[in-house]
Structure 1
């Protein structure tokens, strides 16, 4: 699996499976129409380098085919990982010494991939930090994708929350509606874990801290969407998929 999104994009470009779009595109409907058309045709990932109103490039359709998703996760087929996951979530009782040894081997594969915290100085995400009046969500390319949409959205921001009482964390993928340069609306359904964290915080009369990350390692993005049991940590699962510990840093 690829450790970061940039490495994946470079690999896709080498394979001829990523196209750069250098002309200016409008995030209001135009980008969405282009990506919808290319995706339905089984086309490549797209890197829009000139998005109207933003200086940031926009990668789209990166996981739009089975081929690219498998490549991103370092897999040859989905069965490669489904068998491993099934063995962890529904383990059979070990039979004999060999069975016990194999069972400990499965558990060991999880023990060695928990997330690890790194120092701020070692984290690329901390190279540019904006605070106070410098915070401006309008600098990010938010998309108005469908004619009946309620506004412009950030569609692949991974939302990190912690349960206010027991500290259990959750990573989920929810649509984020931009309201103004400092405010977004969180579109999470009431049955989602992060929504539950918010409800607990509201009941306690507290505000819920939330961190949102863009451009995460492919395994982390995948883990945020995987239908995992509530007691399975998404970052641990991402490390299991990637075969390497996920690095985390304080906001």
Structure 2
């Protein structure tokens, strides 16, 4: 009886374990492991007969595989991309029935060193910016974007490349300012990189009268300052005149 092909994702340069079966060895006539790698012709890895204990291992696999005589699992050491493909376990029973298990092996390198490249870090308002995300290590990577820890809304001013690795913001406005995160992931791992979008400050200098003072805008701020200065001068003069009148004395002749 046939079963669906199982998907197996395995880390690069580690030991791969392909599961066997829990059938009793006394009911089994023959066991065979085969591999069809990278769409090439199927190759026999090993055959085993429980009754005779005889085992044949393909010379190219002899130093890399370990076979279990109890559950018929197969272990392959130091898997690389050349080991990707479909592995088939065929068990021939004594009653001439067959049990076939298929596993499609995909070798994965974990994602690491995710970074974002761009032409500028602070574009001018109304301009465009493209953020390019890349995981320098890893394969079978999928990309997604977030803004302020929320899924990035896609609109008329947001364009993603076909693989989602590049994000372009059109006609940037104040509402676009914030933290953008690229998430790079595969079935075994994930990583991310953040980019804080800010707008470039305008280089033009405003006229001196437009700044204002003390929090009051433009002419109003300066008018208030002048008013307070005038009031202070007026109070100072009054205080000075009162002081002079209070300290004046008459000149009297002195008795000798």
Query: What TM-score do you get using the length of structure 2 for normalisation?
Result: 0.16
Structure with the larger strand share: 2
By relative contact order (CA 8 Å, sep 6+), the higher-ranking structure is 1
Give the structure-1-normalised TM-score: 0.17
Point out the structure with the larger helix share: 1
